[in-house]
Amino acid sequence: MAVDTPSQSVAKAAGDVVARGPRRGTGSRRAPKRSLATHWYAWAMVAPVVIVIAVIIGYPLVRGLYLSLTDANERNVARTIGVNEIPATYEFVGLDNYTDALTGSQFLGTLGWTVVWTVSCVTLTFALGLVLANVLNRRIAGRSVYRMLLILPWAIPGFVSVFAWRFLYDERRGMLNQILSGLGMDAVPWLNDPLMAKFSVIAVNVWLGVPFMMVALLGGLQSIPGELYEAAEMDGANAWQRFRNITLPGLRSVSTTVVLLSTIWTFNMFPVIFLLTRGGPGEATQILVTQAYKFSFEISPRDFAQSSTWGVLILVLLMIFAAFYQRVLRKQGDVW
Amino acid sequence: MRRGIAATALVAALGVTLAACGGSDGGSNGGSKGSGELSGTVTWWDTSTVGSEDKVFKKIAEDFTKKHPKVTVKYVNVPFGEAQNKFKNAAQAGSGAPDVMRSEVAWTPEFADLGYLAPLDGTPALKNQEDFLEQAAASTKYKGKTYAVPQVIDSMGIFYNKKILKEAGVEAPASIADLKTAAAKIKEKTGKTGLYLRGDDPYWFLSFLYGEGGDLVDADKKTVTIDSEAGVKAMKTVKDLVDSKAAITDATNGWDNMQASFKDGKVAMMINGPWAVADTYTGKEFADKANLGIAPVPAGSAGQGSPQGGHNLAVYAGSKNLDASYAFTEYMSSPEVQAQIAKELSLLPTRQSVYLQKEVVTNPMIAFFKPVIDKAVERPWIPETGSLFAPLGVEYTKVLTGQTTPEQGAKAVGDNYRKLLKDWK
């Protein structure tokens, strides 16, 4: 839910509306009845999608917003169990939940680590993806094999690979530590030490995210005309100059999109954190989404109000980020 | 024409989808009113240890059909760590919940308070109620009604590998100071670690807390006591055990690692309860069952103290087959079944009459644990008891991994409890 909405709003803000909106708007306003009569079939075709989106995105969103303004928890929501019908007794509390979240240390502390996690993951995946894409864009022996192998982490379902990593990381019986002890080194507390656990979760997320970056950037590289490089070579530009002045500008449109997407995904990367550490040790690797999940599913009584509050705040943060990012890009003269 | 076909197909597809949604409800539970003979399906969520206990429980549960041939028992094993949340999800959503739930003692008042459990007074589920041990029955009562039937009762002790202790020339430790010296000797003589301390589950912290004379809360005085001096001292004790390398611990995957290191003889001791006995016997170190020794938990400065725990069987209030569920609950807590479980799994019965059977009292594990249970520390059976572990778990792990001090950790738990228990001191 939170993943889709900001990107949609970005797409909408991106100029589509400005360019085409008015024309389309006046057209339908002129003769709504006739439009319905002639286009009923189109409406009927669109209807299922609209209904499904309203049910699976719209309703939870509105409901989440509403719950964040109440003190709803497990004990006061309505529930029907067999013959017992227990009515809802929660109350409207206005913006209290937001004040609590924004003035308490827990939200801000978690936000701090979430930002560190997002920035380091996106930076590392982008850098690695760029390097690998450049390597694989050359004519090297076995190129297609390498491409296949590097896409593999992407092809495996996320939870499967995260579980595999969890086994590798296990301090007592994991393969990584067995290899280390074979080399005569001490065991590393991969997931048991707070700082080490932070590195470990970032490493797994980078491993998972590189294929996407690589494929997207490889596509971008292939769309750069080869003549540019030839011309640059004729002018005596060295490899670094060619990369700096042709490759990077040529990848601009692709990289802005993948960085935005990757930021939103990483910010809300639930499975990696939840399945590897459950936010532990203690709360060392807890990011905003896993903590919001914890509020509404792991603690008791389950705190639905606080969980929704965090959810809404995550959404707002990502929307602000997307708007800001887009503005910076436009200032730099990007048409996107 | 083509449009017409497509539109028809769309309508048909929608129709099929709707029919599919509606159809899933029927036929799952037969119900059994009137004729007197029970029928239908009873789904039971068991939380016992997979690989050892679950096989026995599955067989016993399915044997219910021998008495009631028209009833089908559906045995489902839900990992203990997930069961509380899974049951709450299903019970609240009103679909997918089992008919009968193996509910841990601390969960029972909470489930009852939320309205998820059927009151059992006056139903066939309760039979010969006076026979139940008083401590075992305590957690099944909430606001004057009985919401569950005690299935097993337990406490904790220190499990040790006799061979390793003998090799190191030490006895089973009686106090925490003994434990530290024994661990140092074991390390010196055998190179192995003394104790596995479970660091990801605060239940394993309780015996240290009780050993210092502390407790989580004092329900009679409505006071939070975890952040008292005793609580801080207990936190210091566990931290010291890990820092001095007398014990190893993990912040994740604790249960599996604890069992594996003890069963493979990598650690000499662990603190555990009867639920671990059957699984421990499957380890290569304990192929000879006599190698497993057991002693009371090491005493702290205020003496020995271990928590009283156990499991109840509760019937989901939304069950579509209440009558068969009541009968199943009665069967699973009957003296015959309890005796069989005691024999095969060394789990402790909740009925006094079962302890009179010779095969039960001569089981060494039961003979050890029965007196321990009589002295074990009982928790207050309030709905919030099931909520006390989550905040404690976070701080316990933080203390063990050095992210906070014992003082701050204990204080943070106390603050959390006061938020949870309105108007408590």
Q: Closest chain B residue to A73 measured between Cα atoms? A: B114
Give contacts of B387 with chain A, Cβ < 8 Å. Answer: 299-301
Q: Mark whether B207 and B228 lie in a shared domain.
A: yes
Residue B383 belongs to some domain of the structure: no
Among the partner residues A79, A172, A191, nearest to B115 by beta-carbon distance: A79
Taking the CA of residue B348 and the nearest CA in chain A, the distance in Å comes to: 29
In the structure encoding, which two tokens stand for residue B38, read together? 């029970």
% of chain B exceeding 70 in pLDDT: 92
- At A5 the pLDDT is 41
For the domain that residue B272 is a member of, what is the CATH number?
A: 3.40.190.10
Pairing of strands B223-224, B193-196: unpaired
**CB A281 to CB B319 under 8 A?**
no
Residue B295 gets the label, from left (phi > 0), alpha (psi -120 to 50) or beta, of beta
> Do both B254 and B331 map to the same domain?
no
Is A170 in Cβ contact with B257 (below 8 Å)?
yes
End-to-end Cα separation, chain A, in angstroms: 24
* Best residue in B256, B257, B394 for a mutation probing chain A (most A CBs within 10 Å): B394
Q: Which helix (H) or strand (E) holds B71?
A: strand B71-77
Q: Closest to B390 (Cβ–Cβ): which among A45, A170, A300?
A: A300
B263 and B409 in a single domain? The answer is yes
Which chain A residues are closer than 8 Å to B115 by Cβ? 79, 81, 84, 86
My answer on whether B169 and B278 are in the same domain is yes
C-alpha distance from B111 to closest chain A C-alpha (Å)? 10
Residue B17 has pLDDT above 90, yes or no: no
Q: Which domains does chain A have, with CATH numbers?
A: 4-86 (no CATH), 104-298 (1.10.3720.10)
Could you report the predicted ipTM of this complex, rounded to two decimals? 0.82
Is it the case that residue B34 has pLDDT exceeding 60? no
- String of DSSP letters for A183-196: TT-PPP-TTTSHHH
Task: Tell me the pLDDT of chain A (336 aa) as tens digits.
Answer: 344 444 444 444 443 434 443 444 444 455 566 777 888 888 889 999 999 999 999 999 999 999 999 999 888 888 888 777 888 889 899 899 999 999 988 999 999 999 999 999 999 999 999 999 988 888 888 888 888 888 888 888 888 999 999 999 988 888 999 999 889 888 888 998 999 999 999 999 999 999 999 999 999 999 999 899 999 999 998 989 998 999 998 898 888 889 999 999 999 999 999 999 988 798 899 999 999 999 988 888 889 999 999 999 999 999 999 999 888 888 776 654
State the DSSP string of B306-373. Answer: -B-EEEEEEEBTT-S-HHHHHHHHHHHTSHHHHHHHHHHH-PBPSBGGGGGSHHHHTSHHHHHHHHHH
DSSP state of B294: E
- Quick one: B334 and B220 in the same domain? no
Is B407 among the domain residues?
yes
Q: Give a yes or no: residue B2 inside a domain.
A: no
Whether B285 maps to a domain, the answer reads yes
Residue B32 lies in a domain: no
Q: Do B114 and B239 have their domain in common?
A: no
Q: How far is B13 from chain A (nearest CA, A)?
A: 11
Tell me how close the Cα of B369 comes to any Cα of chain A, in angstroms. 30
> Which residue segment(s) compose the domain that B140 sits in?
40-154+309-375
Say whether both B181 and B275 belong to one domain: yes
Residue B127 forms part of a structural domain: yes
Contacts A–B by Cβ distance under 8 A: 104
Check residue A335 and give its pLDDT: 55
Q: Within this chain, do residues B401 and B258 fall inside the same structural domain, yes or no?
A: yes
Q: Mark whether B196 and B278 lie in a shared domain.
A: yes
Does the distance separating the beta carbons of A41 and B3 come in below 8 Å? yes
pLDDT tens sequence across A98-155: 999 999 889 999 999 999 999 999 999 999 999 999 888 888 888 888 888 888 888 8
Q: B251 to chain A, minimum CA–CA distance in Å? A: 5
CB distance B60 to B341 below 8 Å: yes
Cα B95 to Cα B367: distance, rounded to the nearest angstrom: 42
**292-351 of B, contacting A, C-beta below 8 A:** 316-319
Boundary-marking domain end, from B338, B354, B375: B375
In a domain, B17, yes or no: no
> Does residue B425 lie in a domain region?
no
Number of domains in chain B: 2
Residue B178 and residue B287 in one domain: yes
- Shared domain for B71 and B107, answered yes or no, is yes
Check whether residue B78 and residue B133 sit in a common domain: yes
The span from the CA of B97 to the CA of A85, in Å, is 17
